[in-house]
Structure 1
């Protein structure tokens, strides 16, 4: 039995809670405010103040695993409290891109690099270890309403319908298909539900042998395939598409920055990250260890937009 604390009460945390609730592992949800909807599901919600170490440490007593869906200073404080409370394993709020491919000084970082550095610092001084679960891009970025339709990423500029590559509902797209070397750009992707299923399956393996990073993948497709399939799922009507060349991305970024268009800055930052393979990886190590059969991108896309 592994005692689990899920930090956060948004859509991602709720998805994790749902799948963990199907196991025998007890869990609590750490939330800044009461959550009567979650309490009605028989989930144990603990109201915490992320600025109060005593409060956090008290709430984490007896916890083996912390799964964080919060970022910035709240996550840093949570890491401190977990390290001082005997937590064995910490999963940071770091699910889409591989940390090793993070771009420096990225506006989309949201202080996550600091969190990873802080976890490494504590691992040298305590028995707490950390594991990042890397899944690539969430399929739900391409959903009606985008990720925010699931209560995920509302505080960012890139979680809304159409903020990444294609707006299927409006029939528009803006993307870069080939990298600087003229090679097709690939994107690794997984549905939110499958990320939760992979996480639960890893928990069933036990925490002792977890590596520093688990990589999972539901599918891996080129940007060109994503655009083509998006058109196909809406009846094959050609989208209004703006294809940007890789060598022109920085020009677009500078233009958006100078124009104080922060929504577009975030969008171009994501295109740059995609061109630089920040969302692409091969040989996902978690897929081979657990009995999870993720839904393919086409099956998810055609089901969602049917």
Structure 2
């Protein structure tokens, strides 16, 4: 039996807590503030100060695995504390496309590269290991209210309904279908709930032999398929703006010039999609655990029919 610390108390942390609670492993939730809703589920919530190393180290004593859903300085301080309390493995707050597809100088990085650098520093100096869970795009980006409806992704600026590819409720879309080479663009996707299921199943395998990166996927579809399936489920053709890949930077410059921050965030996501930031073809975790993830079509019909 392991002792696990989940850092954060937002929507993603709550989903992880639920699925880990179905195992025999003990866990605590590290939160900046009391969480009466979570304690009502008999989850152990520990209020911590992420700026206080002594406090973090005290509460990580005896912890085997840290799963982070916090970012920025909070995560960096958490990494330092974990390395100094003999935590065996650290899972950073990534949960999107593979790190190898990310650009540290991109505005979408939001400090993750700095956290990865800090992790590498400690991995070379301690026995702590690290594993990233790559999962692509959450289906729930396309639900009513977007990720915001689940308390996920507030720091990204693209967590609201319609902030990525399409607004299914309003029947509108803004997409880039082909890359600069003329090839169709693919996106790897999964439901948030299945991410929690995969994470819990991976924990049951034991953390000693985890690789540096676990990849999981529920589906992999072209941007064109994503749009056409949504139209089919809604029974209507969307009002769609198809942007050519070569014109994306022009759209970005226009948004930046006019200080249209919401538009800028949306275009940056389109650029990331065109550059395959959310695409991969070898979900190595899928083959290791007995999890049948929900397909995108089934999720769409269940959510929008």
TM over 0.5: yes
Which residue of 2 is the match for residue 271 of structure 1? Answer: 270
Greater mean deviation of Cα atoms: 269-278 or 154-163: 154-163
Contact 1:103/1:273 (CA < 8 Å) preserved in 2? Answer: no
Which residue of 2 is the match for residue 102 of structure 1? Answer: 102
Tell me the distance in 1 between the aligned counterparts of 2:28 and 2:219: 31
Runs of 4+ in structure 1 deviating by more than 3 angstroms, as ranges, are none
Tell me the distance in 2 between the aligned counterparts of 1:286 and 1:117: 24
2:103 is the counterpart of 1:129:
no
Tell me the distance in 2 between the aligned counterparts of 1:118 and 1:155: 20
User: RMSD of aligned C-alpha atoms?
Assistant: 0.6
Contact 1:31/1:48 (CA < 8 Å) preserved in 2? Answer: yes
Which residue of 2 is the match for residue 303 of structure 1? Answer: 302
Which residue of 2 is the match for residue 86 of structure 1? Answer: 86
Tell me the distance in 1 between the aligned counterparts of 2:133 and 2:274: 22
- Residue deviations 1:86-134 (CA, integer Å, cap 9, x gap): 1000000000111000023222211011111111110000011110000
- Residue deviations 1:133-172 (CA, integer Å, cap 9, x gap): 0001000000110011111012321111100000001100
Greater mean deviation of Cα atoms: 257-266 or 166-175: 257-266
Greater mean deviation of Cα atoms: 255-264 or 50-59: 255-264
User: Once the 2 structures are TM-superposed, how far is the Cα of residue 68 of structure 1 from its aligned partner?
Assistant: 0.2
2:16 is the counterpart of 1:28:
no
Tell me the distance in 2 between the aligned counterparts of 1:302 and 1:96: 23
Secondary structure at the aligned position of 1:93 is classed as coil
- Residue deviations 1:27-68 (CA, integer Å, cap 9, x gap): 000000000010010000000000000000000000000000
Which residue of 2 is the match for residue 13 of structure 1? Answer: 13
Tell me the distance in 1 between the aligned counterparts of 2:262 and 2:35: 31
TM-score by length of 1: 0.99
Secondary structure at the aligned position of 1:187 is classed as strand
User: Once the 2 structures are TM-superposed, how far is the Cα of residue 262 of structure 1 from its aligned partner?
Assistant: 1.1
Contact 1:32/1:50 (CA < 8 Å) preserved in 2? Answer: yes
Secondary structure at the aligned position of 1:173 is classed as strand
Mapping of residues 16-165 of structure 1, within 5 Å: 16-165=16-165
Greater mean deviation of Cα atoms: 57-66 or 104-113: 104-113
Contact 1:176/1:246 (CA < 8 Å) preserved in 2? Answer: yes
2:176 is the counterpart of 1:190:
no
TM-score by length of 2: 0.99
Aligned length: 305
